[in-house]
Amino acid sequence: MNGSEAVIAGVIQGIFEWLPVSSEAQTMLYMLNVLNLDPQTALSYAFYLHFGTMLAVLIKYRDEFFSVLMSPLSELKLSSVIFYGTLFTAFSAIPLYLLLRNLSTFVNPVLFTMIIGFMLVLTGILMKIADSKGDKDINDISNRDIILTGIAQGFAVIPGISRSGITVTALLIRKVNQETALMVSFLLSVPATAGILFIDFNSISRIPLQSMVILSASSLFFGYISMDLLLKIAVKVSFWKFCLLFGLVTIIFTFLYYFLNIL
């Protein structure tokens, strides 16, 4: 991956991270089908790209994270939400990550692309199911709410499952209001991203240093400057239709491409 290709990947990550359409899916589709990377390598790049947008979230919500760090778990509701949400994310994410890594060693890019398409369709369906309004705020979130949300977030390790989409969906199903759901979703993204970077360290460490710098800098920059606008759009637009349509288009075109290659 050269410098310009890394910048484009960072732009894709920085923009799509704030929309419930799976930034990981979009960067994977770009790297598999435009850059022609193998699934193993593309997956490492896709995981690492979250580092820049994680920094953007830390900068944006620095006051909230400072409060969490300075307060005992029992005295701050937000601390409890982040701690238990992260704990239960690990329960579902780690086995799914190990399965995904094993699959990526022998699944070809065409089939991997089709899997992403199916996961986008699934994300769209889940978001449609949760297209409802609740009135719970951060102080009303129960342990059951955050446990279910944490488990749901773990499934976002699969490309095509939107992390923000599935966590917001879980919270909306539990009748949390949309503004609180979005805030909790992005606060949970930081420890989740740090966790995936840690467990995938061996693969990520093989990325060239120059590429790492460009990828993280571009995803941080474009992620930070686009965050406020795109979060406002995410609240107002029904992205389940986009996920459903984009997923179906991905499946159809991938099938046709594979079929034509067989011929």
Residue 126, pLDDT > 60, answer: yes
Residue 77, pLDDT > 90, answer: no
Residue 70, pLDDT > 70, answer: no
Residue 33, pLDDT > 80, answer: yes
Kindly report, residue by residue over 232-262, the tens digit of the pLDDT.
776 676 778 888 888 898 888 888 877 666 5
Closest CA to 90 of 211, 212, 191, 240: 191
For residue 152, what are the contacts with CB-CB under 8 A and spacing of at least 6?
92, 166, 167, 169, 170
Give the DSSP letter string of 69-91. HHS-GGG-HHHHHHHHHHHHHHH
Give the long-range contacts of residues 198-206, CB within 8 A, separation 24 or more: 199/94, 199/97, 200/44, 200/47, 200/97, 203/40, 203/43, 203/44, 203/47, 203/101, 204/44, 204/47, 204/48, 206/44
Distance CA(129)–CA(173), nearest Å, equals 8
> What type of residue sits at position 215?
L
Residue 207, pLDDT > 50, answer: yes
What range defines the domain where residue 59 resides? Answer: 3-260
Domain count, the chain: 1
Question: Which tokens go with 89?
Answer: 């994310």
Query: Sorting pLDDT into bands at 50, 70 and 90, what band is 263?
Result: very low
- Look at residue 10 and give its three-state secondary structure: helix
Are 80 and 144 spatial neighbours (Cβ–Cβ below 8 Å)?
Answer: no
Residue 172, pLDDT > 80, answer: yes
Strands (DSSP E) contained in 83-200 are none
Query: Sorting pLDDT into bands at 50, 70 and 90, what band is 72?
Result: low
Question: Which tokens go with 197?
Answer: 């970077």
DSSP one-letter code for 134: -
- Look at residue 176 and give its three-state secondary structure: strand
Predicted local confidence at residue 1, as pLDDT: 84
DSSP one-letter code for 136: B
Question: Which tokens go with 75?
Answer: 């005295």
